[in-house]
A and B are shown apart, each in its own frame.
Chain A
Amino acid sequence: MVSFTRLSAQATTAVILALAEQPATWRYGHELRQQLDLKPGRLYRALMRLADLGLLEAAWESDAPADRPLRHRYRLSGPGRAHAAKLAAGPSVPAKTARVVGEIGRLPRLEGR
């Protein structure tokens, strides 16, 4: 059982909701940071925390162009998706987080931020 108090941090909630927009798609750290307009430190702490709790799947790219290193990519795990649904359904999503990410399934994903 995931403790909500551990996930209540705004950045963590924002990351869960952003990943839940396209749960099957692998996402990258830089892309998430731009979408959520989060500081990189907060983003990576949130990602690490989610991975520690088993809510996040993290994997390396299988191949990459020669001019750049392999990137780490992320998506929600099964429990992560369940938790995201609970977060979205409940009243506890902080107003600022909801504003940034948009409510799942209703607001479009923020592009190009």
Chain B
Amino acid sequence: MNRDKRIGLLGGLVAAAIGPWAIAAWLLWRAWWRQAGVRLAALDGSARLLAAATATLPADRRDWGAAMAAELAQVPVQERAARWRFAAGCAWAAIFPPGGTRAAVGVAGVLAVTATAAAAGATGAALPAGRVFVPVFVGLLGGLATLAVARSRRAGHAGPGPAVAGLGLAGVAACVAFLGYYLAEFPTYHRARLHAWTLVSLPPVTAVVLAVVLAGCLWLALRPPRWLLGDRHARRFGIGMAVALVAGFVLTSRGELRGLPGDGGMMDYSLTGLVLWVTGSAVAAAVGRSFRSGLWACAWAAVLVAPLLVAAWLAEALHWYQQGRGMLLDGEGGIGMGANLGDAVWWTLPFLLVWALPLGVLGAAVGSARARRRRAREHGDLASTT
């Protein structure tokens, strides 16, 4: 390949990765501006800081956010330093409202640290290949649990419902179970065609990325922020999209194993997955008659599909291995089974981040535009009949 072709290819790849995000960012900015931007533009910096912080308050404390904003209006606009001090103090109270008692927070913190240390010790002895993933994952969960105790004042926090919580929990549990199996059975692998040396199946960077993603998804599935809970239809669409995406992945893998005619293997799945993603977001936006419904459906699908897809990848890779086939990604042989761990993480997560999320935003924009046009037509018809 000559230099010009190489530059062209590189440029195409960069454009393909950045393009959808640039369009999605513009759509998000436009939607935000319509919703809140005009209002926020009239506020000074301190009021914007307070507005951003109070948006994180749980539903039953929303009045307190409005109360703080009203009191900030009592501090004269000329006293900029005083306004910033007031806003910063209130922002702190909004982000860390009184929750569990200090004793409960302390106990949760001590338990988190103890569990992390115990996990690090036990993993080092029993499963050396997991010595990065396990303590990072346990530590993150412990930290998030401590934060939850610090922020909550009641046990009865509004949740996303049993379907989301169950799927999230099942996805993360399956991921951890497969990961444990892989790390015990295939802690290292060889890439015979390229070189002779041994490679680690789960390098530290991959382990940390996977731990952060799994802990984050589990957290969002069990204790999502208030703004994500508002739209029940979007949540249902998100669940449907996640189930369809994972089912599509497994069916594609099984079809490839059976050598169905016209099947292009797991690479084809990327296209199918993206079509499903865009369509799901668009339909959610059209049904919910808002851009936000499409976005929330896309967000819920991402939260659920990330762990489920990694788990499905690891399960299908085992299936391929048992049938004497090569790597799940492209069927390449001569590579140790452990390489599937890195593939599962580095193909699934970029697929979600680089392509699926921005294309979901595009789908939501298309779906909500159709809904807006339909509403406008209905208004027009109504006006002409009256």
Write the residues of chain A forming the contact surface with B, with a CB cutoff of 8 angstroms: 5-6, 28-30, 33, 39-45, 47-49, 52, 58, 60, 68-72
Contact = CB atoms under 8 A, between A and B. Distances in A.
- Listed residue (B71, B89, B92) with the most chain A CB atoms within 10 angstroms of its CB: B71
Contacts of A58: 63, 67
Interface string B97-118: 1100100000000000000000
Contacts of B98: 45, 48-49, 52
Contacts of B15: none
B96 to A, nearest CB: 8
11 contacts: A40-B85, A43-B89, A44-B68, A44-B89, A45-B93, A45-B96, A48-B97, A49-B98, A52-B98, A68-B73, A72-B70
Nearest to B67: A72
B164 to A, nearest CB: 28
A44 B101 contact: no
B90 A41 contact: yes
Nearest to B57: A48
Interface in B154-175: none
Given A39-B89, A71-B70, 18 more contacts: A5-B101, A29-B68, A29-B71, A30-B74, A40-B89, A42-B93, A44-B64, A44-B89, A44-B94, A45-B96, A45-B97, A45-B98, A48-B97, A58-B67, A71-B67, A72-B64, A72-B66, A72-B71
Given A30-B75, A58-B63, A42 B70 contact: no
Contacts of A30: 71, 74-75
A6 B90 CA distance: 21
Contacts of B75: 30
Contact of A44 (B73, B74, B90, B153): B90
B204 to A, nearest CB: 38
Contacts of A43: 89, 93
Contacts of B71: 28-30, 33, 40, 71-72
Contacts of A60: 63
Given A30-B75, A72-B67, A40 B153 contact: no
Please name the 9 residue pairs, one residue from A and one from B, whose CB atoms are nearest each other, closest first: A72-B67, A40-B89, A41-B89, A44-B93, A41-B92, A41-B93, A30-B74, A29-B71, A49-B98
Interface residues of B, number: 26
B61 interface: yes
Nearest to A44: B93
Contacts of B90: 40-41, 44
B44 to A, nearest CB: 15
A51 to B, nearest CB: 8
B189 interface: no
A48 B64 contact: yes
Contacts of A40: 68, 71, 85-86, 89-90, 93
B345 interface: no
A97 B70 CA distance: 27
A113 B342 CA distance: 62
Contacts of A49: 98
Nearest to B95: A41
B179 interface: no
Interface in B53-82: 61, 63-64, 66-71, 73-75
A12 B98 CA distance: 11
- Listed residue (A29, A33, A43) with the most chain B CB atoms within 10 angstroms of its CB: A29
Contacts of B91: 41
Contacts of B101: 5-6
Interface string B178-211: 0000000000000000000000000000000000
A68 B61 CA distance: 22
Contact of B93 (A28, A48, A52, A68): A48
A14 B64 CA distance: 20
